[in-house]
Amino acid sequence: MVTLPAAEIRRAVRRGLEEDLALGDATTAALFPRLIRAKATIIAQQPVVVAGMAAAIQTFLMVDPSLRLSVSKRDGDRAKNGERLLQIDGDGRSILQAERVALNFLQHLSGIATLTQQICRAVRDYPTRILDTRKTLPGWRTLQKWAVALGGGTNHRYSLSDGILIKDNHLALLRRHRRPVEAACRLARRHRTGTLPIIVEVESLSEVRQAIAGKPDVILLDNMAPDMVRRAVGLINKRALVEVSGGVTLKNVRAMAAAGADRISIGALTHSAPAATISLAMTSARRAQRRHR
């Protein structure tokens, strides 16, 4: 299973609690001046790939180390609709204070992992890898890319230093060249550090031909329909890996894979994945005891 560094989890949780709890919880303080025993259960309300559980656990314990937690699902586990993920027992005030931050981690990251799994399953009959992008929330990149990996996806660049990706705006500054795509590839190969991969984004078959002449490692077909992707794959003829990006959804990703893409990068995995429906239900300890009498 893909793991996330404990220090990264603590950093994210600490920042989340600083946002939400730095000045206290006015509502809980007004209603419950003294300790109130309670039990809470976090439940999946849809099928999910669980992601963010370690962060949720850390959130509750950072608010109140005396809380007792019973973990039913770990990060990377699958959960069905209605299954329990986590149970928390202790001071209801502490549970209330941690609730929103813990659910934010679980809902957002499980949503990413679940969408990624759905897309990976759609192309499972093809040797196509599903990649994420750098379209992540500031400060959340490691968490979001980790959730993609839990869902079966592959991480693309973590930062601008991880590869040479020549995009449309880079090419716009090279328009003085008669063949800017080819020129960009040659410049990149001449000046790259070590063995950084060279990826060039193209938008037409004419640019595909320029890219082939420039000899990049990957030719990225941007916003092309499956039929155009198939034609481009034929032109490239295994002289570079073929990546497809732009407008890829669960509805058309299989067609892109069938057209011959080696890899498909999807920004929506991190910037538009719907939050998973996960809830926290709480009862007072006294009510829970009466129910079992």
Q: Could you give the residue numbers annotated as active site?
A: 100, 135, 167, 201, 222
143, 33, 139: which is closest to 93 by C-alpha? 33
- Which residue reads 């509750």 in tokens? 60
Q: What's 76-136 look like in SS3?
A: CCEECCCCEEEEEEEEHHHHHHHHHHHHHHHHHHHHHHHHHHHHHHHCCCCCCEEECCCCC
- Which residue reads 């993609």 in tokens? 148
CA distances in angstroms from 61 to 55, 95, 135, listed in the order given: 10, 10, 31
93, 90, 38: which is closest to 67 by C-alpha? 90
Query: Which residues, in sequence order, are CB contacts of 111 under 8 Å at separation 6+?
Result: 48, 273, 274, 275, 276
CA distances in angstroms from 125 to 42, 248, 256, 258, listed in the order given: 35, 17, 12, 9
Q: Which residues pair with 90 in a beta bridge?
A: 38
Give the distance from CA 235 to its chain's centroid: 33
Query: Which residues, in sequence order, are CB contacts of 26 under 8 Å at separation 6+?
Result: none
CA distances in angstroms from 178 to 166, 202, 203, 219, listed in the order given: 17, 15, 16, 19
Measured CA to CA, the distance from residue 199 to residue 50 in angstroms comes to 33
